[in-house]
Amino acid sequence: MGAQGAAYGPLLGPLTHRFGVDLPTAGATISANFTGGLIAVTASLWLLARVPARRFVWSGLGLTALGGLGVALAPAWPLFLAGVAVAGTGFGALDIGLTNIVAHSEGSHRSAPLNLVNAAYGLGAVAGPLLVTLAASDLFRLFGGGALLAVALMPAVAGIRGRLPHEPDAGRPGRGLLVVLFMAAFVLYVGVEWGIGAWMPSHLEFLGRPPAIAAALTSGFWLAFAVGRLLAALIPAGVPEGAIVLGGCAAATLSLLLALVSPLAPAGYLLAGLAIAPIWPTAVAWLARRRPRDAGATSWLFPAAAVGGAVVPAGAGLLMGRVGLGWAPVILAGVAAATLAAFALAARSRG
């Protein structure tokens, strides 16, 4: 999942040449990926309460393989976007399924295992831009190989047992507001994460870095992201989830502003990767603790995340088209600051 998603950013430039589209149009690749994810997670809100977890994960892997094959063989831009959307559907199903399985499994301290699972995602994301460079942007090798890997992973799912819990306490005051605030925060957070992954290579090239260097630095961002999640798994259980989430949002905002200064831009992006790393898994664990035995509450975060991934990076791209790529760090820092505000309101909610 991480390698597939992180490959799209460095591919935006090559896609403009292969399919004859401009850069903002190529940015629709990110939106197509998350539109597919939105479809998957919206359907999952109904399916997860009725389908065994093992069968659900198998379906996610199958859709990922089918979409990857479509991307690898696409002869035209609309078919390429369709393949990305199908792969995104598998991505969304795996994302909501695997995260909820860990978040609602037995054990009182779930932030650590969630951060470890998501660190694996981050390590895959490190490989994505490097694979783009090594494969010379060959879509068949990149996504055909990904499809084969998804099929190869299917036997490993056999050990998953049971179904997710759905026992909401509908009468608890503030439950609806709490979930809505978390959803708003997730829309914005995913916009930061994928906005950096999508536009960091183009911004660094705008600042004068060669494309290969920009792709390598983008891999560095995802590496910092993965390392940050590994380090977050070592945070003592006594540290409140809210403190980790709010601190990460604030640090990301400041780090992105560093990228305004050309010599400091790589460092700013790398620090932002470290800062945002624990936000997603820790926030899921935070809501799961506040809404125990209710996988429906945490499940609603995933349609919100898919909306954020589909809308925010594309919207940022349109804004950059008007004001210039040089403003990319300011735009992304603004989204990070809005994420901080949303999580701060959620922390104050009594739901």
Q: What confidence score (pLDDT) does residue 167 get?
A: 65
Cα separation, 347 vs 351, whole angstroms: 9
Q: What confidence score (pLDDT) does residue 168 get?
A: 59
Q: What confidence score (pLDDT) does residue 173 get?
A: 47
Whether the predicted pLDDT of 27 surpasses 80 = yes
Spatial CB neighbours of 323, under 8 Å, sequence gap ≥ 6: none
Sign of CA dihedral 312, 299, 42, 1: positive
Q: Which CATH architecture has domain 2-348?
A: Up-down Bundle (1.20)
Q: What confidence score (pLDDT) does residue 68 get?
A: 92
How many CB atoms are located within 10 Å of the residue 298 CB?
Answer: 24
* pTM assigned to the model: 0.73
Q: Assess contact for 169 and 294: CB atoms under 8 A.
A: yes
Token code pair at residue 188: 């914005």
Beta bridge partners of 166: 294
User: What whole-number percentage of the chain has pLDDT above 70?
Assistant: 95
pLDDT digit string, tens, across residues 135-163: 776 777 888 888 999 999 999 988 888 87
Class of residue 207 by CB neighbours under 10 A (exposed 0-12, middle 13-18, buried 19+): middle
Cα separation, 1 vs 162, whole angstroms: 23
Whether the predicted pLDDT of 74 surpasses 60 = yes
Nearest to 126 by CA among 202, 33, 226: 226
Whether the predicted pLDDT of 202 surpasses 80 = yes
Whether the predicted pLDDT of 109 surpasses 80 = no
Beta bridge partners of 294: 166
Spatial CB neighbours of 285, under 8 Å, sequence gap ≥ 6: 103, 110, 111, 114, 241
pLDDT digit string, tens, across residues 156-191: 988 888 877 666 554 454 568 899 999 999 999 999
Mean pLDDT over the full length of the chain = 87
Spatial CB neighbours of 197, under 8 Å, sequence gap ≥ 6: 5, 6, 8, 9, 125, 218, 221, 222
Whether the predicted pLDDT of 30 surpasses 80 = yes
Cα separation, 52 vs 78, whole angstroms: 34
